[in-house]
């Protein structure tokens, strides 16, 4: 099921275990909040990925004196033994719920007895009504709502941040249009450039082409876009080419150590591909400087390589 289906299903039935997965952190956090609201009388515990699974299950099966059950939220480790979780799922407690979190776009965790909840970005046809509902009594034109969805890649956390910003800038505006939104989407455009570089590295041709088309239609400086792509590819190459401490590598590259951590997570399975893509980008950068290709041609070459 997806996030919207989870919201509906919790009104009639709560499953003993859920696996929330996806790249939209905001949706995952909202899904956790929805489950908590559906279980107002249970004790709640949260465990990060550094905690072994057996400690998590021990907490889940230990019910307090003043609660009818327990809700345990557990961020799954990238690698870990989940045998004790599998054993628990064979006979889960009736009044307790286990929430497993996997912040990857696609989960590789295989568990019987859990309900999978897709928390990747929602489609535009669902997001547009949500946007309209969130800003009421203000309204928003359909093309402005679509522009916001495109600019944020459909990530509701980014959409929510942008809406709060627009409401602060224009408290007296009754209807938002693209003219209101466009001047304040600079940071969101930066995120789209980052997503473009990621899509290129992961060979997601359709997604990359869609983002590139949006950036062109938004009149974003094409040299800014290409420079952002090269920076993303550079970080992915050096992050995966070394196993050095993320703080040291991040300092050398001038970026956050978490950027190195996530680059290794997302692209570490194909370091050769990251190296080749970065080399190709450097070659295209030289061709742009020498007038052999235009920026749109260079971006297309990366997307369709």
The one-character DSSP state at 77 is P
Same-domain pairing of 245 and 279: yes
Report the chain's mean pLDDT, rounded to a whole number: 84
Retrieve residue 110's tokens.
């295989």
E strands present in 67-179: 70-75, 97-102, 115-118, 139-140, 175-176
Domain of 129, CATH number, reads: 1.10.8.60
- More confidently predicted of 268 and 12: 12
Q: What is the rounded CA–CA span in Å between residue 171 and residue 167?
A: 5
Domain of 53, CATH number, reads: 3.40.50.300
- pTM of the prediction? 0.60
CA distances from 8 to 35, 72, 96 (A): 11, 21, 20
Q: What is the pLDDT of residues 80-124, one digit of tens each?
A: 788 888 988 888 888 888 999 988 888 888 888 899 999 888 888
Same-domain pairing of 26 and 113: yes
Same-domain pairing of 199 and 269: yes
Candidates 53, 10, 140, 230; CA nearest to 148 is 140
For Cα atoms 46, 76, 205, give the angle at the middle one, nearest 5 degrees: 130
Same-domain pairing of 11 and 61: yes
Q: The sheet that has 97-102: what strands, in order across it?
A: 43-47, 70-75, 97-102, 17-21, 115-118
Same-domain pairing of 163 and 204: no
Same-domain pairing of 164 and 204: no
Same-domain pairing of 12 and 90: yes
- Rounded percentage of the chain residues whose pLDDT exceeds 70: 95
Q: What is the pLDDT of residues 2-41, one digit of tens each?
A: 888 888 898 888 898 999 998 788 888 889 989 988 888 7
SS3 159: helix
Same-domain pairing of 161 and 140: yes
The one-character DSSP state at 71 is E
Using the predicted structure, report yes or no on whether residue 188 has a pLDDT greater than 70. no
- Residue 192, phi then psi, degrees to nearest 5: -65, -35
What range defines the domain where residue 61 resides? 3-118
* Number of structural domains the chain divides into: 3
Same-domain pairing of 89 and 168: no
Same-domain pairing of 105 and 154: no
Same-domain pairing of 70 and 136: no
């Amino acid at each position: 099921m997806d996030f919207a289906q989870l919201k509906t299903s919790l009104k009639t039935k709560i499953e003993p275990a859920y696996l929330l997965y996806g790249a939209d952190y905001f949706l995952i956090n909202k899904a956790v909040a929805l489950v908590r609201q559906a279980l107002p009388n249970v004790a709640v515990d949260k465990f990060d990925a550094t905690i072994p699974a057996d400690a998590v299950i021990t907490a889940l099966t230990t019910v307090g004196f003043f609660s009818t059950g327990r809700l345990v939220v557990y961020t799954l480790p990238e690698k870990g033994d989940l045998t004790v979780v599998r054993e628990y799922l064979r006979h889960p407690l009736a009044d307790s719920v286990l929430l497993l979190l996997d912040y990857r776009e696609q989960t590789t965790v295989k568990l019987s007895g859990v309900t999978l909840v897709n928390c990747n970005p929602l489609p535009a046809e669902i997001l547009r009504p949500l946007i309209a509902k969130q800003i009421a009594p203000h309204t928003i034109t359909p093309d402005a709502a679509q522009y916001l969805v495109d600019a944020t890649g459909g990530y509701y956390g980014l959409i929510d941040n942008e809406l709060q910003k627009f409401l602060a800038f224009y408290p007296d505006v009754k209807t938002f249009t693209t003219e209101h939104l466009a001047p304040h989407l600079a940071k969101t455009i930066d995120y789209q450039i980052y997503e473009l570089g990621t899509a290129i590295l992961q060979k997601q041709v359709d997604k990359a082409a869609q983002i590139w088309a949006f950036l062109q239609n938004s009149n974003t400086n094409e040299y800014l876009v290409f420079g952002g792509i090269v920076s993303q590819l550079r970080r992915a190459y050096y992050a995966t080419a070394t196993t050095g401490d993320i703080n040291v590598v991040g300092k050398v590259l001038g970026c956050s150590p978490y950027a190195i951590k996530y680059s290794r997570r997302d692209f570490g399975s194909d370091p050769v591909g990251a190296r080749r893509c970065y080399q190709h980008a450097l070659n295209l950068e030289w061709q742009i400087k020498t007038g052999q290709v235009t920026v749109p041609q260079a971006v297309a070459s990366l997307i369709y390589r």
